[in-house]
Structure formats: C-alpha cells, structure tokens
Amino acid sequence: MKAAQIKTSGDLVKRIWGLCHILRGDGVSYHEYISELTYLLFLKIAEETDTDRALPEGYRWRDLIEYRGPDLLTFYRDMLTYLGGHAENRVVQEIYAFPTTVFSHSENLRAVIDGIAKLDWHSVDADGMGDIYEGLLARNSQDARSGAGQYFTPRPLVDSMVRLMRPAAGELVQDPSCGSGGFLISAQQFSKAASPGSTPPRFEGVEIEKGTYRICQMNSFLHGLNAGLILGDALTADAAALAPADVILANPPFGNKAGSARKIREDLPHRTTNKQLAFLQHIRLALKEGGRAAVVVPDNVLFEGGVGRAIRVDLMAECDLHTILRLPNGIFYSQGVNTNVLFFTRRTRNPQNSSRIWVYDLRTEMPRFGKTRPLRPEHFEEFEDVYGADPFGRERRPESTDIARWRSFKREDIAAAGDNLDLIWMTPRDADEPDSSTLQDVASTILFHLQSAIAEIESLMEDLPADEVER
C-alpha cells in the first residue's frame, strides 16, 4: 500500500478530515466522526510511536488493518469492547470505556481504515502527532454543524490567557470544564518552555460529557500531559476530588443547567441555573488564597441583575478582579454570544479588593472573526503589553494612556451603576449604520437570552409542587 505524500501536518489534517465524506451517507455528524477517529487514531499512532506494547496482543492497529474475515464491523466492535475492559493501561481503558461506533457498514469502516493507513505517517514526529489531533479538533469546531465550538476555545486565546497567568513549576493548574484539554496542554507547554528541566505544574480537569472526555484523554496522551482528569460535573459533589488550585483557566459551557437527578453543590452561595454564574462561584471557591484565574464568560454574566449582581459583588469582594478583556465577535463558531475574559486573584474578603478594574476593548471597531478570518496571536499583542508581566495584575498601570482600547474604572463608580461590569466607552464610527454582522449578533444575543429565560422558568416549574403547576 503506497503512502500518500504529506508535506505538512496541516496537509495530514486535511486528508484525515476528508475521510469524513465516506460517512455522510450514514448520517454521521462531524463531532461523531472525531469521536470515532479517536478510537482509530489511537491505535495507529500507538503503532507509529512504538507504544502499542501497552495494548493487548491481537487488539492492535495491525490486527485491524490485516483482518480479512467476513464481518469487519463485528470484529471492530469486539475489539473496542475488549480494549475498554481488559487493557492494563489506564489511559487506554479510559479512551475505550463504554465504546459505541457510528459505523453501520463494514465497507465504510474498511474505507476509513485504509484511508488512514495510506497516509505517510513517517513524516510526522512524536510531537507532531498531538498537533495533528488538535488540528482535527480545530476543524471540527469551525464547522457550525458540529456544535463543537461550545467546548473548543481558539488556540490563540488559550495561549494568551496562559501567557498572562504564567503557570509556574510546582503549582496546581485546573480547568473545571476542560473540554478537549486545550488550557491544560497549553499551560504544560508554557511551563516547559519557561523553566526547562524544573518540576512541572500538576494538572487537574473535569469534563461532564463522555465523548468529549474521551477526546481530552486522547489529546492529553498525544501531548504527554499527565493530568488528573475526572469524568464528572464540577457543579456537583464531584468537585470534592479537586485540590485547592494555584491557577484556574476555564471556558465554562454556555447556557443553563437542565434538570438533573444529581444534586447541585450546597456550598455555592447563590443558587442559579445559569451555568456560567455557577461556575464563576465554583472557581472563586476552588482557588487557594492568592490563587489566580482567567475565565471566559458571556456578556450576560457582566450585567445580569438579581442573583447575577450578587455573585459579581461577592467576586469583587472575595477577589481582586483587576482586568476584563472584551473579546471580539465570532470567537465561538456555534454560538452568537459575545464573550469576555475575567482575570482575578482570590484574597481575604474586603469590599475594596477590586478597587480599580482595567478593561481592554478588543471588540469595538474590530472585524468579525470566524472560519474565513481566524483569530491570530498578534491580535492579543497590545493587550498583553498593557496587562504587564505580573500574572496577578499588580504591575503599575499608568492612568493616562494613548491606547483608546484600555481604560480603568473605580469600584465606587461601578457600584453606583448597579455593579454592572459591561463597561463600554468606545463606539463604532458607523454606529448609525449597523452592518449585517452586527444585526446578526443582536439577533443571536436576543435568542440566547430568550432561551436562558425559558430554561429559568422550566427550572422554577420543576421545583414547584405538582398541584401548584396545575393551577
């Protein structure tokens, strides 16, 4: 079988992604395809990196590629089940735990296996394997039909947040909604480059969705990340398994928490079905005193009244919320919601902990980013420069600045405005003539808030006695 020539890892990503077209006739989504690829690529990459000794004899890539029996699909299903239940390696067991396959025809399975086998894997070194898998995750997130944009944070944003938080040797780095593991992997790469040969940070992550957890395990394995990963929900008792963190990097899932038989943690001071507000409380409590965090949140977290305001007041008193980054439009492909990054440090409670909050507006007068206009590292250069080298935000920031996007606000002024952190001072030059992308953003935001309101009402109805609902 002659290998297809590969010039770059991006070329390999493109070819692997192209194999998805084989499954279109079976109604397989892109996200399902990525999950299936995790099973197949793990076997292939284990062979290429000479680590398939961790797999039981008879259940390796060569056994799959050489099988010529009557029913390849049944052989494949049995193979997945055996690896999930009998492999001695813990990571292998986690990746193949409770496996399901989207293949419904042996012919399609054979075509994908042969397609993977034909690629020139010898041109990729061990480090490049992780880049290839991450490239596939990025392609998946960019397709609105995949629905994956909700858990995949663009790499330039991830890396910028990590550079500003500067995770150091010996620290504990956490992500309570780790998705595909991007923050943890980036933090490991940063610490290795910053302190070669020193004790690396420890890493912990929680992921609620089984398929995404499997993807995170694969991504971690390929990048050599040894993390304590938990399949669970950080908003429940599962959080008790986490140690107090030095650094938390997170992009909690958007939306509202649907009804569940599992009980929400009682130590969260304010009850809410808004997942971002609940995660913000969790992150504040999960930090050590002196610990720092960078968290992606949608706009509604900054201005929502009632319990939202109470949570913001607590955050500003329990922590030094020193910096807010207003992110540009189009960052998350499957969501039409504007987002921000909150940077804060946990302190002993004091109403004046967040005495001055600095805001950088990377949204106003910026193009709409997306698949055709990707976010790049250079878009964060000015923000990182004014933020400074201190991860705690304590570096002196001059009051007078020529940078129009950078401004500070006093705590007392924020309190007088209802503790609203949606701090805006820049206006588009053509504010009277909104373009189509602006109208799309407005419509998407309205839809998001309507869905949130419906979820809140449904949650309240679930808590009412049955006779009260019937009235």
**How far apart, in whole angstroms, are the C-alpha atoms of residue 91 and residue 226?**
10
Tell me the CA distances in angstroms from 281 to 204, 235, 344, one per residue in order: 18, 9, 13
> Are residues 324 and 400 part of one domain?
yes
Q: Which of 416, 434, 458 is the last residue of a domain?
A: 416
The model's pLDDT over 101-133, given as tens digits with 9 standing for 90+, comes to 989 889 999 999 999 999 888 767 666 778 888
Residue 453 lies in a domain: no
> Are residues 151 and 111 part of one domain?
no
> Are residues 234 and 102 part of one domain?
no
Task: Provide the edge-to-edge strand list for the sheet that holds 202-207.
Answer: 228-231, 202-207, 172-175, 245-250, 287-298, 339-346, 319-326, 356-361, 406-410
Residue 426 lies in a domain: no
**Residue 433: what are its φ and ψ, rounded to 5°?**
-130, 75
> Are residues 196 and 88 part of one domain?
no
Number of domains in the chain: 2
**How far apart, in whole angstroms, are the C-alpha atoms of residue 130 and residue 125?**
10
> Are residues 162 and 134 part of one domain?
no
Q: Residue 217 half-sphere exposure, CB side, CA atoms within 13 Å?
A: 25
Segment 391-407 shows an average pLDDT of 88
The model's pLDDT over 45-91, given as tens digits with 9 standing for 90+, comes to 888 888 888 899 999 999 999 999 889 999 999 999 999 998 888 88
> Are residues 120 and 215 part of one domain?
no
Residue 250 lies in a domain: yes
CATH code of the domain in which 351 resides = 3.40.50.150
> Are residues 186 and 84 part of one domain?
no
CATH code of the domain in which 116 resides = 1.20.1260.30
- Bridge partners, 324 (sequence order): 342, 359
Q: How confident is the model at residue 469 (pLDDT cuts 50, 70, 90)?
A: very low
Which of 310-314, 435-439, 444-448 has maximum average pLDDT? 310-314
Residue 336 lies in a domain: yes
> Are residues 200 and 115 part of one domain?
no
> Are residues 278 and 152 part of one domain?
yes
> Are residues 129 and 151 part of one domain?
no
Strands 339-346 and 245-250: unpaired
Q: Which of 83, 109, 139 is the last residue of a domain?
A: 139
Question: What is the domain extent for residue 122?
Answer: 9-139
> Are residues 345 and 216 part of one domain?
yes
Q: Which of 416, 437, 463 is the last residue of a domain?
A: 416
> Are residues 122 and 189 part of one domain?
no
**How far apart, in whole angstroms, are the C-alpha atoms of residue 114 and residue 60?**
15
The model's pLDDT over 137-186, given as tens digits with 9 standing for 90+, comes to 877 766 544 444 455 788 999 999 999 999 999 999 999 999 989 999 99
Residue 246 lies in a domain: yes
